[in-house]
Amino acid sequence: MVSCLAASEHCSALCRDSPAVITGVAGTQPLPPARTVPGRHFDASRFRECNGKNLATGIACRRRSNGHTASGSHVYLSPMFIRFLILAVCLQLLAGTGRANADPLFDQDAGPLAGIYNLVDSTEGANLISKGRVAWSLSSITASHSASARQGEESLVFDGETTRAELRLRYAPNERLELGFELPYAWHSRGRLDTLIDTWHDVFGLPGGNRSVRGQDLLEYRYENATAVPLDFTSSSSGIGDIRLSAGWMLSGSARHRRALRFAVTLPTGDAEELLGSDALTLGFGVAGDLANRGTSHRWSFYYRLHATWLDEPALLPNLYEDWILHVAGGFGWAATDWLDLRAQVLARTATHNSDLQPIGDPAVILSFGGNVRMGDRYTLSLSVGEDLWVESSPDVSFQLSLRYRPQD
């Protein structure tokens, strides 16, 4: 433990006294000074681009201020990134002999338009409950949106905050079948997270999209084309969303690798005019897998998801929606102790609409990281943060909290 603290203090001193730059072919160049935008703070030294693509890992490539790529490869490692790396090593050294928890984090896409379809998330997996058992969960995800785009005759603005709370029930009538019911409730509002998110982006060196040019705590979801403004949403709303019915069928149930088929149908129970539902039927199916290692400690677990969702014609933007949305997800967990399970996972989906505008016409990729805290044998508290790796095509930042009850097998 002493060695970890010493390493952290030494690293912090290095990061404070000298620029953390890994130099490629060309020599080291000083980082440009921070620039500010009236009313908002933005540190240019914390965000770089490499070949026009954002990197949301604390590592970024430099560009010259004139927009031309600097010769050589300059990779900037933020002090916070290095401290987290040291902390991870210390946790590995200090951890007990925990056992892997197979439950992924809740990572549903809560975007203004994607969220109305109540799409699949990574918690719908292969770890089915035992015959005759009932499990339940209460979850809440708060997502902040900050995106704008204009292309040809189309333009779009997403600026606001969405909170979705869900009650999920699961029941297993036999050893291979699991049935599920999901009741969502959603709020759209101006929110109060913009200042916190600006600080979050500054600390971790993450891209902030167009936050530096818009006011704080606004609510505006707007889409227009050459002939109409089919979406102009500026007032807060709340209500029940689209109810979801699901089922899981176990394919294999070994201790090391469980696989299951997943099915779902979403019913149009939410108000489409209030952005609470799609006013359309959706059908989904896919395969889920959960794996655990066979080591003496069983501390690592992995999962994968492959899903396809078919959408009926929605009430909103019926000329632009995509009939099919494909999902791919994967992640791993590490049992740091008997009661704490740390996780990192990625969920990707295809575009929800046929548009040249990035926020609705591009695929979405969401990185989630957090942990599960086991409270006894039946209850688990889950907390996580989600970031949009494909910038502006999913919520800018999302915060998740859930409580799960699962009876012992």
Summarize pLDDT for 115-169 with one digit per residue, the tens.
999 888 888 899 999 999 999 999 999 999 888 999 999 999 999 999 999 999 9
List Cα–Cα distances, 54 to 20, 51, 67, 193, in angstroms.
Answer: 19, 9, 15, 22
The one-letter amino acid at 229: V
Q: What is the mean pLDDT of residues 373-394?
A: 91
Under DSSP, the state recorded for 27 is: P
Q: Note whether 328 and 348 are within 8 A (CB).
A: yes
pLDDT bin (cut points 50, 70, 90) of residue 86 is low
CA 298 to chain centre: 26
Residue 132, C-beta contacts closer than 8 angstroms, at least 6 positions apart? 172, 173
Task: Give residue 222's pLDDT.
Answer: 94
More confident residue, 70 or 118: 118
pLDDT, mean over the chain: 78
| Residue pLDDT, tens place only, 197-225 | 667 666 666 665 555 556 667 899 999 99
Task: Please give the pLDDT value at position 320.
Answer: 94
* Average pLDDT of the segment spanning 286-313: 86
> How many angstroms separate the CA atoms of 285 and 379, rounded?
28
How far is the C-alpha of 210 from the C-alpha of 233, rounded, in Å?
19
Question: Residue 22's CB: how many other CB atoms inside 10 A?
Answer: 11
240 vs 294: CA distance, rounded Å: 43
DSSP-assigned states of every residue in 74-131: EEEE-HHHHHHHHHHHHHHHH---------PPP-----TTGGGG----TTS-S-PPPT
pLDDT digits (tens, 9 = 90+) for 267-280: 999 999 999 999 99
Q: Encoding tokens for residue 226?
A: 């050459």
Is residue 24's pLDDT more than 80?
Answer: no
Span(s) in the chain for CATH 2.40.160.40:
114-405
Mean pLDDT lowest among 41-55, 146-160, 295-309 = 41-55
Spatial distance between the Cα atoms of 228 and 226, rounded to a whole number of angstroms: 6
With 50 as the cut, is the pLDDT of residue 51 above it? no
Query: Cβ(171)–Cβ(13) under 8 Å?
Result: no
Q: Domain 114-405: what homologous superfamily?
A: monomeric porin ompg (2.40.160.40)
Mean pLDDT on 20-45:
41
